[in-house]
Structure 1
Amino acid sequence: MTSWTASDIPDQTGRTAIITGANSGLGLVTATELARHGADVILAVRNTTAGEEAAATIRAQAPDVGVSIRQLDLASLDSVRAFAERASDELERVDLLINNAGLVILGDRQTTTDGFELHFGTNHLGHFALTGRLLPLLERGQSPRVVSLSSISHKDAHLNFDDLMFENTWDASKAYGASKLANTVFGIELDRRLRAAGSPVISTLAHPGVSRSNLTPRAWESRGVVGKIIASAYAALNTQPTEQGALPQLYAATAKDVRGGQFFGPAGKNEQRGDVTEVHASAEARDPAVGKKLWEVSEQLTHVDYLDE
């Protein structure tokens, strides 16, 4: 496809968008651009103080649209349920859900409030539950879409259904990769089930390549002076600006010719940076048997059932 920029985003006036993790990085850029093009945006954030600061930044650029902050901790299924219940009380519909939030940790294994491994519980299960609980609002939306944020790291990852929580052998990098593979599997399986149900909602996917807000450099920065040096060198040699990294998910969310199941990322070498193009998920991510298994396990773990066959 030809070079596509934020100026190519179609008019979003009248649309309501929920963006998780919208207080910084890719999420903030995405929310800002959607608001600049007319959408009312809801920043679903864990830290509402940071969310208020982000909202002020967005309002300065898009003073005529609605910008609101709602507390959401994807590492807590109770928080996901409370967020969705409030949304159901306050909103008539949702037109766009961007499952953008994600985390990566370096160091010892950690768990969510529900006892899930932190990457898998936050990056995948939280978004799985959120999407299911918001689906009735989405189905009342105008040309509604769900965008799931993947990562190039999903291509080297594997879902071990005998040890999804990495309780037997802990590896932080592999746990993160598995969670992003789960995001990718989910986006593809969600598309399949939405089609089968005849739903008006479409599911799309995107990944940012390696952007300046990439979580891995930020994780290294937490390791002191040496970590900051590594992060700075990595950013200088391998990353692209956050504004460029957000374009694939903005394309997936807004471009008029997008179809359910499509996956977008950078066109450059190893999909690390460059113009937006359609990319391909790994063979494991596209395996229907993996999609079905992950869906069933996710329903069991979250107690959120939807689009069952």
Structure 2
Amino acid sequence: MTWHPEAVPDAHGNTVVVTGANAGVGYFASEQLAAAGAHVVLACRSQERAEAAVSAIRRRVPGASVEATPLDVSDHASVAGAAAALLERERLDVLLLNAGIVHAPADRAVDARGNELVLSTNVLGHFQLTALALPVLERTPGARIVTLGSLATLLARFPLDDLQLDGSYTSWKAYAQSKIAAQVFGFELDRRLRAAGADIASVVVHPGYSTSGRTPGIRGVNQPSKVKRFADNLQAAWTQGKDHGAWVPVRAALDPEVRGGDFLGPRWVTKGVPARALATPTTRDRAVGERVWALLEEYSGQRFPLGR
């Protein structure tokens, strides 16, 4: 299973939606997918930043087919509106679930429904969006759902009795736990899709240790300070730019050899070309998957039209 990031398969005729695509890995995945010929929809909370990203892709990829659509994954109504717009499309080949909070707030915050904000943004909104957009994925042969996980899943415990972090919140725990839940969702989703006989693959990825200071500067998208670049370049031996981190979800989206339930990451764990990776046993555990699925339905208020 080899992959050359500079020679990706042709994606003309494919429609790809990338959440949180105005910066970071999401932006570069969108740019690379557009360069491969896909029509890319940047689903973003900020219209201004989304349009800046669209403009950047058009500058850097002549003839790119790209557009922006509003989506705030922490807002129940916004997610419902975005999903309704997706259902009007003829096809949806790839739904890339990338949006999220990386630098969690120091103090616990909640969304309008009372859910812990990092969990809401990194997991619940994507759960709702995927459930509501399922019909357009089902009518697209070979559709894929790609969930962005994290190396943080290797470094944290996962207490199922405290997913909302009531009384035990720290910013690190909120981020790490949300990414564990995201990976659990991605793997459990694939098991349920298979059981339902759906022609949809759910793939989970992580981008390694990708930093903005080692990422190409792009006006309106990535403009790190000189201090940030200096600090990040001191870690060059084990880090990479977010443009290289984006290679992993792009492979998950386009490689014909990728299958549902696969887990991909950089070859050298923190950096490198994308390859198959080892997920933590917790994120692949069926019993954990069933329990987390039930909690995601409860917290999001969204029933998912796939049984077991």
Is TM more than 0.5 here?
Answer: yes
- Kept in 1, the 8 Å contact 2:8–2:254? The answer is yes
Task: Give the distance between the partners of 2:61 and 2:231, measured in 1 at CA.
Answer: 34
Figure out how many residues of one structure are paired with residues of the other and give that number.
293
SS at match of 1:170: coil
Deviation at 1:65, TM superposition (A): 4.3
Partner of 1:277: 275
Task: Give the distance between the partners of 2:25 and 2:63, measured in 1 at CA.
Answer: 22
Deviation string for 1:87-145 (max 9, x for gaps)? 223x1121110001111314111122222111111101111111111111111113200
SS at match of 1:256: coil
Partner of 1:139: 138
Equivalent runs, 1:1-309 vs 2, <5 Å: 1-2=1-2, 4-89=3-88, 91-103=89-101, 104-213=103-212, 232-234=230-232, 236-237=234-235, 238-268=238-268, 271-306=269-304, 307-309=306-308
User: For the aligned residues, what is the CA RMSD?
Assistant: 1.9
Task: Give the distance between the partners of 2:43 and 2:10, measured in 1 at CA.
Answer: 22
- Kept in 2, the 8 Å contact 1:26–1:213? The answer is no
Task: Give the distance between the partners of 2:145 and 2:165, measured in 1 at CA.
Answer: 28
AA partner of residue 14 (structure 2): R
Partner of 1:220: none
Deviation string for 1:41-65 (max 9, x for gaps)? 1100000100001101112234434
Alpha carbons of structure 1 residues 156 and 61: separation in structure 2 relative to 1, 3 Å: same
SS at match of 1:258: coil
Structure 2: tracts of 5 or more residues without a match: 214-224
Alpha carbons of structure 1 residues 159 and 6: separation in structure 2 relative to 1, 3 Å: same
SS at match of 2:293: helix
AA partner of residue 77 (structure 2): D
Task: Give the distance between the partners of 2:298 and 2:191, measured in 1 at CA.
Answer: 20
AA partner of residue 108 (structure 1): D
Task: Give the distance between the partners of 1:184 and 1:212, measured in 2 at CA.
Answer: 21
SS at match of 1:58: helix
- Kept in 1, the 8 Å contact 2:211–2:232? The answer is no
Task: Give the distance between the partners of 1:230 and 1:144, measured in 2 at CA.
Answer: 38
Alpha carbons of structure 1 residues 5 and 166: separation in structure 2 relative to 1, 3 Å: same
- Kept in 2, the 8 Å contact 1:15–1:95? The answer is yes
Task: Give the distance between the partners of 2:212 and 2:20, measured in 1 at CA.
Answer: 12
Identity %: 39
- Kept in 1, the 8 Å contact 2:152–2:176? The answer is yes
* TM-score calculated relative to the size of structure 1: 0.90
